[in-house]
Amino acid sequence: MGGVCLSLWLLRAPLLAGVARVWIVDDALAQADAIAVLGGGAQFRTFAAARLYHAGVAPRIAFMDVGLGPEERERGQTVSGETRLLRDVLLSERVPEENIVLVGRGETSTAEEARALRDWAVKSGVKRLLIPTDYFHTRRVSWYFRKVFAGTGIETRVHAVPMRDYTPDNWWQDEDGVISFQNEVIKSALYLARR
Amino acid sequence: MRTSSSWRRVGLGLSGLLVLAVLAWWCRTPLLGGLAQAWVLDEPLVRTDVIVALPQVSGSPVLEAARLYREGLGAKVVTVSAPVRPTDKLGLTTPHDEGNRQLLRENGVPEMDFLILGQNVPHAHAAAQTVAAWTKENGIRSLTVVTEQFQTRRVKWSLDRALRSSGVAVRVRAVPVRDYTLAQWWRSEQGLIHFENEVVLNLFYRLNY
């Protein structure tokens, strides 16, 4: 038993990196009809979406109408600051306005976003949707989007966006890496439980 | 092969656990509220040399630091420089440093009594190191650190370690978060996430620092 623990400790780096690499989903990039930018990702996902757009991966970007925060509701806002920021980043990154589409009505979770994007994609004739998102978010997104889009004939692919402060090979050495991974494990378990 | 008395012991043990579980469920409200109260550090306010605002999820610690300053509980307010975000670089969002500066100005803290320490300080641990270095260089003898309630334990631990054997007194002031109370934190998604994350981060800090 002591030997096992010692071995695990000595091999913790490759083991933990291996766990991350197994968890992270990063589908091969292929030509898509649209790129989807999920809420909560203004600092990374939107920039990744703009890069993919400029690389010719898809002709348009669908970004989420993110739900209002409590203070925004109190102020009587109708559009959340997060929604405006997603759009502004895309425009700043030189994505033409005519190629940006707002999707949803005040979505507040990955599950709601998946359903809103499915409804939009079905109406818009999308056949392949690419979703760039944070490393550890990819597994839940990949699983849930496939579930929600099942039977529509629309393929969803997930692209793992590199984070600023950590990589799959050192995530356990960074606070954000540890918190992101464990939050996603918990949320994924909750999603599975609510299936 | 177990004897009948050992099976009885197992049965009694399991029954005892079941009773405890039922009691815990029945008393979950005071138990969970009590757990949060035990976790959060909130020391009595006294005048200190400096008030340190260390926000994590909101501007509330900065507002509270300004209030303490106005009440004469500290001669200066300091905070720690936050990382510049990609949207800040595009001019689409106000950098946290500028936002904090504005908040303090609007809430009665003059520029000469306000300092931002460091540059692009990423986490509470680095913030504690930055504050500790400045404190020692400037002969500060006492600090009141203002931060969100669940973060107080980790911040206090980090600063106590960074200021070990310096003789600097560190007091922590807990600022409530708008989305939940300590009595009902588990009913809010934000409350669950914040508390659980802080437990994990405390373990991370003790293992790494």
List of chain A residues whose C-beta atoms are within 8 Å of the C-beta of residue B123: 175
Nearest 5 degrees, angle CA B125-CA B127-CA B133?
A: 105
List of chain B residues whose C-beta atoms are within 8 Å of the C-beta of residue A183: 193, 197
Q: Could you read off the pLDDT tens digit of each residue along chain A, which spans 195 residues?
A: 888 888 888 889 999 999 999 999 999 999 999 999 999 989 999 999 999 999 999 999 999 999 998 889 999 999 999 999 999 999 999 999 999 999 999 999 999 999 999 999 999 999 999 999 999 999 999 999 999 999 999 999 999 999 888 999 999 999 999 999 999 999 999 888 876
CATH of domain B40-177: 3.40.50.620
- Give the pLDDT confidence of B59-114 residue by residue, as tens digits: 789 999 999 999 999 999 999 999 999 999 999 999 999 999 999 999 999 999 99
Tell me if A70 and B178 make a contact (CB, 8 A cut-off).
yes
The span from the CA of B62 to the CA of A174, in Å, is 26
Name the nearest CA neighbour of B105 among B56, B70, B58.
Answer: B70
Position B1 scores a pLDDT of 63
Measured between CA atoms, the residue of chain B closest to residue A176 is B123
CB contact burial B179-202 (16+ within 10 A = b; e otherwise): bbebeebbeeeebebbbbbbebbb
Selecting from A85, A173, A178 the residue whose C-beta is nearest the C-beta of B200 gives: A178
List of chain A residues whose C-beta atoms are within 8 Å of the C-beta of residue B200: 178-179, 182
Q: Where are the domains of chain A?
A: 25-193
Do A171 and A177 meet the contact criterion of CB atoms below 8 Å apart?
Answer: yes
List of chain A residues whose C-beta atoms are within 8 Å of the C-beta of residue B208: 173
Q: Which of residues 62-101 of B touch A (CB under 8 A)?
A: 85-87, 90, 92-93
Supply the ipTM of this predicted assembly.
Answer: 0.90
- Give the pLDDT confidence of A110-138 residue by residue, as tens digits: 999 999 999 999 999 999 999 999 999 99
Q: Give φ, ψ of B130 to 5 degrees.
A: -65, -45
Pairing of strands B48-53, B142-148: parallel
Q: In angstroms, what is the C-alpha Rg of chain B?
A: 22
Q: Is A55 helix (H, G, I), strand (E, B) or coil?
A: coil
Position A194 scores a pLDDT of 79
Selecting from A47, A165, A182 the residue whose C-beta is nearest the C-beta of B200 gives: A182
Beta-carbon contacts of A7 under 8 Å, excluding residues fewer than 6 positions away, are none
Tell me if A173 and B208 make a contact (CB, 8 A cut-off).
yes
The span from the CA of B58 to the CA of B182, in Å, is 17
The H or E element that residue A173 is part of is: none
Question: With respect to CATH, is domain A25-193 assigned 3.40.50.620?
Answer: yes
The H or E element that residue B27 is part of is: none
